[in-house]
Structure 1
Amino acid sequence: MLQILLVDDENDALEALEWKLNNYIENVEITKCNSPVKAIDIINEEKPDVVFLDIQMPEMDGFTMLEKLENRDFNLIFTTAHDEFALKAIKVSAIDYLLKPVDKDELIVSMEKIINLKKGDVLENKLQVLLNNLNDSNDKINISADGKVYLLDKDDVVMLKSDKSYTTIYLKSEQQIVVSKTLKEVEKKFLFSHFFRVHNSYLINLHHVKEYLKGLGGELIMTNGLTASISRNRKAELFKKLYLD
């Protein structure tokens, strides 16, 4: 039985979607919510399998609601009447969406995809890509460390280096910021096209690569003089990104 939560400030839209799910999709149990604020509590406490989320709502939009969630272990389908820019960002993140009024056949296709996927299939990463793309015009990355929140310019970050449960961020000003999180956790803030994980211990800004040193895996010399090792299994993709032969 799939547990489904519908979140939309329009009651007519909620009832119409509920009717279609009940009539065209088997084995579903549906909860409706017309408040994104209340929906946050429902998701965190009840952990639904699927969330249908409206984008434009008066209390807060769907994107803001997602940022506030503690639990993101669910499959997500956006529902929206319009918003061309948001739809482009959603497409890039590979999250599904349906235009309102929801078409029966498109609903069936979306649900079939979900049924064939694992619960919350890499949704965390998809959401971060989405949120980064929505804010792509904002070059600031917020990093919490040392009791402060640093607002970093993307182009000022040269590379990140892992040290077990800590991550050091190296800036072109030669400042270093030590974050008490793993590189895997911090990396979610840097899901932009010019940041690339070249090694389990290194995430680099491709704009700051100065030299490539040949070797078994090879090393990169960055503009701040530091080096980053390259994993052999990431070498081919790195070469494509750097246009190397």
Structure 2
Amino acid sequence: MLKILLVDDEVDALEVLEWKLKRYVSDVEIVSSSSPKKALDIVRDFCPHVVFLDIQMPEMDGFSFLEKAGFRDFSVIFTTAHDEFALKAIKASAVDYLLKPIDKIELIEAVEKVRIKLDKENIGHKLETVMQSIGKTCEKINITADGKIYLLDKDDVVMLQSDKSYTTIYLKCDKTILVSKTLKEVEKKFEYNSFFRVHNSFLVNLDHVKEYMKRMGGELVLTNGLTASVSRNKKAELLERLQLTK
């Protein structure tokens, strides 16, 4: 089932879009919000496959919404009454850009693009799993960046940090590697018990955790002196993994 989140400050527009999706698209689960601020919380709880996002909203525009969402594990389809934002939408890696009133055929085609994208990601993940299984005899982690292939020992990797479409790998020798892939893509190579995704933006090697700071949601201090924020929904599992009491 395709999970869809609709975000638009105009309630009438939300209702019309939801009606069209239910009428013309099958096998969908839809949640809507007229408040982009509240929608940020919905994203974390609902985990949509795609967000239909209005661009011009008084509370927060669509591009600001994406920035605040941080790590993006969903596709985006912009909906707007204006066409001057098309280039910016492309730069934001939107799957599609629909002008209001939204045409039925264009809507169906946009959803199909999302389904095709999801199918490709699933196939890619399966192939990656197969390749990892084949290569288990090799203890090195191969990372492609800067026109090179780095062969890393997992114990030398302290932390990975997301920066939108890029990922920075921090090594214990104080060297960094910038990879032009999302953290979601890169973390597949770090499926070891010692690595744990503590936040949308951070994947850390628990063997390199030096201190756990209790303030706010929690923060880790690592052996190289860097820090990593801990999200509230990861805190309990982290404490268990570190064998710490709450």
TM-score where L is the length of structure 1: 0.50
